Amino acid sequence: MTAPSTPETSRAGWRRSALAVLLVGFVVLLTACGGLSADEDGDSASADEYTALGTGKPATEADTAALEDVPASARDAYAGFWHSTRLGPNPYADWKPSKAPWKFCYSSSYQGNTWRQEGLTVAEGIVDQLDEQGLVDGDMIVSDADNNASLQATQVNTMVQKGCDVVLVMQPPTVGLCNAFESAKDAGVLVVVMQTGTDCTNAIQSDFGSYFAGQTSAKWLVEKTGGEGTVVMCDGIPGVAAAEARQAGATQVFEEAGLTVEHITGEWTPSTIKSQMLQYLTTHPDDVAGVWDGGVCAVPVTEAFEQAGRDLPFVTGFEGACAWLANWKKTDKESIGFTQGAGQGVVEAFKVALRMLAGQQPELNTLLYPLPEINASNFDEFYKPEMTLSSGCNAQPLDGESVPSSYYDDLFSGGDEPATFESRLDQLPVK
Amino acid sequence: MSTPPLEPAVVELAGITHRYGPTVALSDCRLSIAPGEVHGLVGENGSGKSTVVKLLSGIMRPTEGEVRVGGKAVDLRSPAAAQRHEIVTVFQETLVSDECSGLDNVFAGTDGIFRRARSGRAEREAAERVVASLGASPAILQSSPHHLSLAERQVLTLTRALVRPWKLLILDEATSALDLSTRDRLFAVLADHRREGRSVLFVSHRMDELEILIDRATVQRSGRTVGTVGKDEATPARLLSMMSGRSDAGEHHVRAGARSRQAADVVLRGVDLSLVAQAPAFDLDVRRGEILGIGGLDGQGGSHLVEVLAGVRPTASGRVEVDRDGSWTRVTGYRQAFRSGIAYVPGKRQEEGLFPSMTVGDNLSMATLPRHARAGLFRSSSVLTRVREEMTRLGVVPHDPSYPITGLSGGNAQKVLVGRWLAAEPDVLILNDPLRGVDLGTKRDFYALLRELTEAGTTVVMLSTEIEELLTCCDRVAVCQAERVFDVLEGEDLTYDAVLAAMFGRHVSDEQSSDEQSSDHDTHRKVTL
Amino acid sequence: MSATVATPLLQTVARKVPYFVPALVAVAVMLLLTASESETFLSGGWKLVLVYASPLVLLAMAQAPVVLSGGGGLDLSVGPTAGLVSVVIAAVLIPRDLSVAWLVIVVALLTGAAAGAVNATLVTLVRIPPIIATLATYLVFAGLATQVLGAPTGFLPEWMSWFTSVDGVLPNVLYVILGVGLVWLLLTRTAYWRNLLMVGSNDRAAYTAGVNVTAVRFLAYLLTGVMAGVAGLVLTAVLGGADATVGPTYTLQAIAAVALGGLSLAGGRGGLFGAAVGAVLLFLIQNYLTLTEASSFELQMAYGVVLIVAIVANGAWDRKRKAR
Amino acid sequence: MSTTITHGDPSLAAASPPPPKRRTARASSVLVYLSPVAMFVVLTLTTPGVLSTTGVMSLLVLASVLGLAAVGQTWAVMIGGIDLSIPATIGMANVLVTTLYAEGWGFPRIVLLVVVVSLAIGTANGLLSSLFGLHPLVVTLGMASLVTGSVLVATDGNTGGDVPGFITDAVSPVGSVWGIGVPAAVILWLATLAVVLLVERRTVFGRRLYALGSNERAARLALVRPVVVRVVVYSVGALCASAAGVLLAGFSGGASVSIGDPYLFSTITAVVVGGTSLLGGAGTYARTVAGVLVTTMFTTLLVGLEIGPNMQQVMLGVAILLLITVYGRDRHVAQRL
């Protein structure tokens, strides 16, 4: 009655099979690590009319070719675009904009900080203005995915179902929403992605020239350091296109200038940046010629230097935070940065959206613009006494917007005059 | 005295010795079970019976010696292995998984990881046949064991054993959870199996069962095999004397230093007490300054009684009251009982008593720490002095409060546990089988200690499953049987035989009464089903 | 026992009703609410919701076997495992043009199995408490994933879009989920199911009955790994690419889903279905709060409250059920 | 009176050696307390720059924040639980301090509020994890998102604000208190360490904490109230986490609800590296402190060697596995029969 395979023998059996599976498993894991070195070799996968996303990689022929086609007036801003975005024709080419009034919707991947809140405030301000012009249908639907890609995707779908005409998407993950965008496009809804590159070629992107900005601040640092010594690059979140792009820009400049480059990973988080910097300083007693800011770094880095009792080198800024300006005022150490508030981004996104609603056709799927620079010459115009080291606000462009509307004239063709609005960035609270 | 079996043994233990760390549980055990026999294995608690069972059912492997099945040495490395050698076991603890149906509980383990040994129908039929033969309703195979009675659960584990192919069935106190009718049906079933040459190792405390069932019996005493006797020799008296190691088991026995107290000065009492649902109610008085022994076999209510008296366990009905300077206060819980001067020393040292990760000092001072503390901050000096005091009084070896409790021998660990509660200087000290598996030296110390305490006016209630102990140190002995106090013996009546008999529900005085009792014993058993 | 006297009805209900019913009822309620909020939901809208819920659903299902296997069974590393799988697909196979369907699927399952085997070995053979073992592997897998795939990538073979298509009567992911469910169903027809429940609810009883406890638990972790592999595959498809940072965020949600689904974290009670239902419930709640345009801040609060209330309710419910 | 007693056979106890568990415990504790020293030597050899006052101080400041956050985790683990709500609590305190200070609240008032909230969180954790034996993992997980959500709702996501200057100084490696060249954060940590150790070693509560973790049933019978102990444990944990959150405000100069996220795993790691077994009943915060120092120096070393965050994570995982294999293995089923 006892069967051939008693628990005992089957135990021996599973031991063996378990081991086998284990081995196979490790092999697979190793291949995975193999990819580490191997994912360099080119992606022949995309043979379509959009360039490939080449974050942290050198330019391909396709990239350089695509750059040639960019109108000369805007080419600077598009430098190194392949690090953060894919360039190609307007995916909405055969899209017929509906007549006003339009329903605007705002899908944010996260709202839990002041920067994001500024973006939303500005968007609401603009919609109110357009409403006064009778161009808006109902309230703006706002959603927040708390950094949950699939949730944001459903939220976008929901907005489509709720009859939005324009969905402005604030910093979606690089991949993860393309399907949602596709179904939005099919439903005739205009999707504008703000403040980040994306892998999706089925949405309009509005972003600033990260690579170019990175280059600009790096060039300044090279000049200040006299092109020798060690610069520390304070990197953002690994793998996030926006971060990689500016870093690529800076790296390129530093390598050209022949500076020694070392890295800390700040992950755009003040506490992390400061501890990383402190740990770096404790482990590197020799002089640092300068620190390049990949975002949020300037203030915590300065504090780190002061508190480690080291003399402060040249530290760039990036996003032009009020705290950074206050810091500059306090230390009186010259720096460089840009105005990169979320508000500005929203303003540019609306410009693009309104042009397309007015029937204009963008030359490209991605619309990049340069950021206003903050430097010693215009510092006093940006700095306000209310700004403190712990202010959460951002400096705003002096003339209320990153670029004049005319900037887009070369990038769009056809259509009528778009509706206009005041950015009212200067009315944002300084605190 | 032992009569060798004619045929080669089905299963044989040859010179088995087993140690847990320092303590020797079993030394040079010899046991051989002939085909088709019911072999009794008897002995007082801690005599090594359960170790034998664990070795045969593949839960433990012997330190020395070998287990032989059908003449050749085998390695029973797991219960599965034991079952492969057609040895099946039913334990006293009814081991069933509550989330699985009765049927699954029966057949789990018969098949491989994925492969089912039988079709569902085959299983149901086989199981229903066995269940029916045990006179239980097949319904228990479908429902979830959550809601089955103890007896029904045990029927499941019995079925689990009987549906498997087996040469040797081990019943480890398995009948104690059964009601009488089921038990008798089981015996009938076993009789049939014997005719087919299958053997049974029958471990039981119940003499009546042994008498009915066994062909031969092997007696264990404190880890050693006393010997094996044939049916004719295996009379209760004979077995008991072998168990106790005294030839005069039958003889009237008087304890040294016995004092029977006339004074009915009661300090703790139980009124219309019934320990578990539907168990018969009874009264019990504990007199001031006496040592009241609680006797009885495992699972007969003794430990329930002490727990109820200490307020650890709620009464099924009735009440427990303690005399607080003249007025009766009802005992509602152990915290309140402690405040009323009752201290309870739990039974299972490992599960309910000791803090294995802590030192002797911490273990000893745990209950009384607040008394040495101001604003939650205790003065370690005064705690230590107290601890050392107790350790000296109890003779804990080594005399080192910072020693890890796990480093102590069973006896010393037990002393520490008692010390924890002595430190509270209680009026009534209730001990739940404090001397189980404790060395003789410690026992001697305890007897003296308890005397001392009573001299000082403390009242002691002590559960013990060892008759010797009860006789040596108690003024009176309440013997529990079938979840109630069957008899309270004192003075002249307090004899080894009397206690032993009472444990099995008999009065030494008149033999007939045994039937009455076993009959009301039955009625009780029936209700619980 | 007093409970029996007090509320016999509630108790009999608690006994009769399968473990997942409370969650199922909750789901029904959420469906009604959602439908009342968005008219398009019933007419197709639900398909997309399901597509985006599918990674969580699959990961919750993956969590189930280890939780069932008892002994504090838990796999914190399911999220990172899924992440690792999608990274292997996107960073190892596709760049080498190894994007044939069968190969990708096989590799995905193998990677999952490997991860599962590692956990299984640590928990059952080395006998490290599951929480620590899988916490450690969480760190290792997540670290490896980001190491292998620095930046997110979006190139996927065409066939993978099959997973996200909703053109059919049913969304295709549902077939995947049902497929996993079917495999599990077949498994429950074998002796393994009973072995698992025995071990989960009382490993001592199972052991004495002759069940190979170690083997059963080992397999549970292996299964979890494989299912996490499937989840990784679907995750890649749903994201339309690989992002090493996404996987780990699912772990705690998956555990919450399992608890919501009425599985006992003590083991032995529950099943894949409950886990799936719990996950759907979780996603529906989030989705509903979105529909009502509640801020994600309130969403998070609600999420916490729901979770706590649910497990307390399950605890009470279970106590009722067990009461004799 | 003890004269009348004949002592139990001493050979018996003498013959019984301390069980292996104890021996490994002894050995491991030596290792544990030596490891920070060893780590420091390695660190100084690889990167001599560390050997400066500010170098050491900045290490200590980093350690002090993690150290404070890890108090709760240690105690939770010592009673056989775990606390996933620590990061949320850190974020809560961090945001409350900065935002309320910006709104002109007095610092004492803010502290009072933070304390109250922390106690509420701790009490909830304690009560819920005593209910129907619910798993603290899920309970604290739920609490975490509840807390974070509430904070965001309360602040509308505008988590920015002002940081009191003295907090910024408190976490500055060159900061000093009463002329002593030691940052206030480190002093605070040392003070906490002293108090925590005092509680563990010298108070009734401390003993009961160990008793509960060691053997709940025995603890109950020894008049310990598990619910009370749990509530206190999780409350103390929440308080210390809040302290860490406040310090982080000074450290980062800003505020964020998610500022505590890195401390979910790093606290558990510190506890495990310190060798406190997740089986409960053993261990001490002193060990965790060792764990904190080791991990802090370990990461510093990796930064020094410019090893990326990903491989740091992998290495931590492997380290945990190795350590637990030594400290905290479970028993086999057969041993429980």
- Give B247's pLDDT tier (boundaries 50, 70, 90): low
Contact (CB, 8 A) for A38 and C151: no
Q: Smallest CA–CA separation between B106 and chain A, in Å?
A: 16
Q: What is the structure's pLDDT at B211?
A: 82
Q: Smallest CA–CA separation between A260 and chain D, in Å?
A: 14
- pLDDT one-digit tens code per residue, C251-264: 888 988 998 898 88
Question: In the structure encoding, which two tokens stand for residue B151, read together?
Answer: 């007896």
Spatial separation of the C-alpha atoms in residues D7 and D15, rounded to whole Å: 16
Asked whether the predicted pLDDT for residue B359 surpasses 50, the reply is yes
Q: What is the structure's pLDDT at A119?
A: 92
CA torsion C67-C70-C75-C78 (nearest 10°) is: -40
Q: Which of A9, A11, A16, A17 to mutate to test the interface with B (most CBs of B within 10 A)?
A: A11
Lowest-confidence pick of A110-124, B204-218, C6-20, C189-203: C6-20
Which residues from D are below 8 Å from A275, CB to CB?
Answer: 62, 251
Distance of CA D272 to the CA centre of its chain: 10
Calculate what percentage of chain C has a pLDDT beyond 90: 43
CA torsion A52-A53-A58-A64 (nearest 10°) is: 50
Q: What is the structure's pLDDT at C177?
A: 94
- Number of compact structural domains in chain C: 1
Q: Which of B69, B75, B76, B113 to mutate to test the interface with A (most CBs of A within 10 A)?
A: B113
Assess if residue C192 is contained within a domain.
yes
Q: What is the structure's pLDDT at D168?
A: 84
Counting Cα atoms < 13 Å in the Cβ hemisphere of A368 gives 32
Select the more confidently predicted residue: D53 or B187: B187
Nearest to B378 among D6, D17, D204 (CB): D204
- Give B254's pLDDT tier (boundaries 50, 70, 90): very low
Q: What is the structure's pLDDT at D28?
A: 63
- pLDDT one-digit tens code per residue, D112-122: 999 999 999 99
Asked whether the predicted pLDDT for residue C150 surpasses 80, the reply is no
Q: CB A2 to CB B115 under 8 A?
A: no
Asked whether the predicted pLDDT for residue A39 surpasses 60, the reply is no
Mean predicted lDDT score pLDDT of chain A: 85
Q: What is the structure's pLDDT at B437?
A: 64
Lowest-confidence pick of B213-227, B252-266, C224-238: B252-266
Q: Which residue of D has its CA nearest to A285?
A: D49
Question: In the structure encoding, which two tokens stand for residue B374, read together?
Answer: 């101001």
Which residues from B are below 8 Å from A10, CB to CB?
Answer: 112-113, 115
Mean pLDDT confidence for B13-42: 86
Intra-chain end-to-end CA distance of chain D, in Å: 42
Nearest to C113 among A7, A21, A162 (CB): A21
pTM for the structure as a whole: 0.83
CA distances from C10 to A317, C18, C313, C317 (A): 65, 14, 13, 9
Mean predicted lDDT score pLDDT of chain C: 87
> Which runs of E-coded beta strand occur in A190-307?
190-194, 204-208, 230-235, 260-265, 290-293
Which residues from D are below 8 Å from C119, CB to CB?
Answer: none
Q: Which chains touch B (3 or more CB pairs under 8 A)?
A: A, C, D
Q: CB C287 to CB A7 under 8 A?
A: no
Q: Which chains touch A (3 or more CB pairs under 8 A)?
A: B, C, D
Q: CB C92 to CB A39 under 8 A?
A: yes
- Give A46's pLDDT tier (boundaries 50, 70, 90): very low
Q: What is the structure's pLDDT at A361?
A: 92
A76 burial via Cβ count (<10 Å: 0-12, 13-18, 19+): middle
Region(s) of chain B under CATH 3.40.50.300: 11-244, 287-511
CA distances from B42 to A415, B270, D158 (A): 103, 34, 77
Which residues from C are below 8 Å from A178, CB to CB?
Answer: 154, 240-241
CA distances from D154 to A55, A236, D99, D151, D159 (A): 39, 29, 10, 5, 10
How many Cβ contacts (< 8 angstroms) between chains B and D? 138
Question: In the structure encoding, which two tokens stand for residue B334, read together?
Answer: 């152990």
Assess if residue C297 is contained within a domain.
no
Q: Smallest CA–CA separation between A294 and chain C, in Å?
A: 16
Q: CB A6 to CB B84 under 8 A?
A: yes
Closest CA to A223 of A300, A332, A334: A334
- pLDDT one-digit tens code per residue, D10-34: 333 333 334 444 444 555 677 788 8
Out of 3.40.462.10, 1.10.10.10, 3.40.50.300, 3.40.50.9100, select the CATH number for domain B11-244: 3.40.50.300
Which residues from D are below 8 Å from B393, CB to CB?
Answer: 1-2, 5
Q: CB A10 to CB B112 under 8 A?
A: yes
Lowest-confidence pick of A159-173, A363-377, D244-258: D244-258
Q: What is the structure's pLDDT at A20?
A: 63
Fold of B287-511: Rossmann fold (3.40.50)
- Give C137's pLDDT tier (boundaries 50, 70, 90): very high
Q: CB C304 to CB D312 under 8 A?
A: no
Which residues from D are below 8 Å from B310, CB to CB?
Answer: none
Mean pLDDT confidence for C190-208: 92
Q: CB C208 to CB B57 under 8 A?
A: yes
B468 phi/psi in degrees, rounded to 5:
-45, -50
Assess if residue C1 is contained within a domain.
no
Question: In the structure encoding, which two tokens stand for residue D183, read together?
Answer: 């940052």
Q: CB-based contact (8 Å) between C318 and chain B?
A: no
Contact (CB, 8 A) for A271 and A297: no
Select the more confidently predicted residue: A364 or A13: A364
Residues B300, B301, B303: CA angle, nearest 5 degrees? 120
| Length, in residues, of chain A | 431
Q: Which residue of C has its CA nearest to B316?
A: C1
Select the more confidently predicted residue: A55 or A156: A156
Q: What is the structure's pLDDT at B7?
A: 65
A377 burial via Cβ count (<10 Å: 0-12, 13-18, 19+): exposed
- pLDDT one-digit tens code per residue, C169-193: 888 899 999 999 999 999 988 899 9
Give the domains, in start order, of chain D with CATH numbers: 52-323 (1.10.3470)
What's the 3-state SS for D256-290?
A: CHHHHCCHHHHHHHHHHHHCCCCCCCCCCHHHHHH
Asked whether the predicted pLDDT for residue D291 surpasses 80, the reply is yes
Which residues from A are below 8 Å from B113, CB to CB?
Answer: 7, 10, 14
Q: CB D8 to CB B378 under 8 A?
A: no
Asked whether the predicted pLDDT for residue B469 surpasses 60, the reply is yes
Counting Cα atoms < 13 Å in the Cβ hemisphere of D51 gives 8
According to DSSP, the residues that pair with B477 across neighbouring strands are B293, B489
Asked whether the predicted pLDDT for residue D196 surpasses 90, the reply is yes
Give the domains, in start order, of chain A with CATH numbers: 51-208+341-372+409-418 (3.40.50.2300), 210-318 (3.40.50.2300)
Q: What is the structure's pLDDT at D224?
A: 92
Q: What is the structure's pLDDT at A114?
A: 82
According to DSSP, the residues that pair with A142 across neighbouring strands are A106
Q: Which residue of D has its CA nearest to A118?
A: D158
Asked whether the predicted pLDDT for residue A3 surpasses 70, the reply is no
Contact (CB, 8 A) for A394 and A322: yes
- pLDDT one-digit tens code per residue, A272-283: 898 889 888 888
Q: CB B397 to CB D13 under 8 A?
A: yes
Question: In the structure encoding, which two tokens stand for residue D8, read together?
Answer: 């139990």
Q: What is the structure's pLDDT at A34?
A: 41
- pLDDT one-digit tens code per residue, D74-96: 999 999 888 999 999 999 999 99
CA-CA-CA-CA torsion sign (A338, A343, A349, A352): negative
- Give B46's pLDDT tier (boundaries 50, 70, 90): low
Q: CB A157 to CB C92 under 8 A?
A: no
Q: Which residue of B has its CA nearest to C220?
A: B113
- pLDDT one-digit tens code per residue, B108-128: 988 888 888 888 889 999 999
Assess if residue C205 is contained within a domain.
yes
Spatial separation of the C-alpha atoms in residues A320 and A331, rounded to whole Å: 16
Q: What is the structure's pLDDT at B520?
A: 42
Assess if residue C27 is contained within a domain.
no
* Per-residue DSSP letter, B370: G
Q: What is the structure's pLDDT at C272?
A: 93
Residues 13-32 of chain A with CB under 8 A from chain B are 14
Nearest to C154 among A112, A143, A199 (CB): A199
Q: Smallest CA–CA separation between A19 and chain C, in Å?
A: 9
Asked whether the predicted pLDDT for residue A200 surpasses 50, the reply is yes
Assess if residue C7 is contained within a domain.
no
Q: Which residues contact A391 (CB under 8 A, 6 or more apart)?
A: A321, A322, A323, A326, A430, A431, D160
- Give D71's pLDDT tier (boundaries 50, 70, 90): very high
Range of the domain at C141: 52-278
Asked whether the predicted pLDDT for residue A44 surpasses 60, the reply is no
Lowest-confidence pick of B33-37, B50-54, B347-351: B347-351
Q: CB-based contact (8 Å) between C140 and chain D?
A: yes
Calculate what percentage of chain B has a pLDDT beyond 70: 89
CA-CA-CA-CA torsion sign (A53, A57, A61, A66): positive
The position carrying tokens 């081995």 is A23
Residue B94: left (phi > 0), alpha (psi -120 to 50), or beta?
beta
- Give A268's pLDDT tier (boundaries 50, 70, 90): confident
Q: Which chains touch C (3 or more CB pairs under 8 A)?
A: A, B, D
Dmax of chain C from CA atoms?
A: 69
- Give A167's pLDDT tier (boundaries 50, 70, 90): very high
